[in-house]
Amino acid sequence: MKITIVCAGRVKEKYLRDGIAEYEKRLRPYADIRTAEIGEERMREKPSPAEKTEVLRREGARLLAQVPQGAYLIVLDVAGRAYTSKELAAQMDALALAGRSSVAYLIGGPFGLSDEVRRAADVRLSFSHFTLPHQLIRLFLVEQIYRSFKISRGEPYHL
């Protein structure tokens, strides 16, 4: 399976970069994983609603341009559906059985997601109702993808 993680911004903290790198290394036997990063859009401190919408639209268009053609798009969205680890693994299995060999996960920037990105999603996935830093979500995401493969193959991993 080919997995692409599309995200706004770079991970700045070394401990997060190290954690992400560790799970990407663990994933290599299971999937071809790559990350496509775009620069975050800038927004002034107190934007008008129209300015915020426009910034999110521009960033969203740049994010969507990084999604591989034909990929099943899973957008991480606080307003999305929460899955258990077993449900995520089952969804990945169902995609593989349906011949969907390319999956893209999209993580927006610190200002959220545009309506266009939400509409483009095949699935909107929530990790929590908490607002979490998008850089931390990248670590959570690669760990959950790895966990999904372990669950699907019946290999030991703490549940």
Cβ(105)–Cβ(140) under 8 Å? Answer: no
Domain contains 158: no
Cβ(58)–Cβ(111) under 8 Å? Answer: no
33 sits in the region (left: phi over 0; alpha: psi -120 to 50; else beta) called: beta
Domain contains 93: yes
- What is the DSSP-derived secondary structure letter of residue 82? E
Q: What is the pLDDT, as a whole number, of residue 8?
A: 94
Domain contains 114: yes
Domain contains 122: yes
> Judging by beta carbons within 10 Å of its beta carbon (0-12, 13-18, 19+), is residue 105 exposed, middle or buried?
buried
Domain contains 159: no
Model confidence pLDDT, tens digit, residues 78-137: 999 999 999 999 999 999 999 999 999 999 988 889 999 999 999 999 998 888 888 899
Model confidence pLDDT, tens digit, residues 32-58: 999 999 998 888 888 888 999 999 999
How many independent structural domains does the chain possess? 1
Domain contains 113: yes
List the CATH number of the domain containing 105: 3.40.1280.10
Confidence class for position 62, pLDDT limits 50, 70, 90: very high
Alpha-helix runs per DSSP H in the chain: 14-27, 49-64, 85-97, 115-120, 134-152
Domain contains 157: no
Axis crossing angle, helix 85-97 with helix 134-152, rounded to the nearest 10: 70
Place of tokens 């549940």: 159
Domain residue limits at 130: 2-152
Domain contains 98: yes
Per-residue pLDDT at 142 exceeds 80: yes
With residue 6 as reference, give the H or E element that holds it: strand 2-8
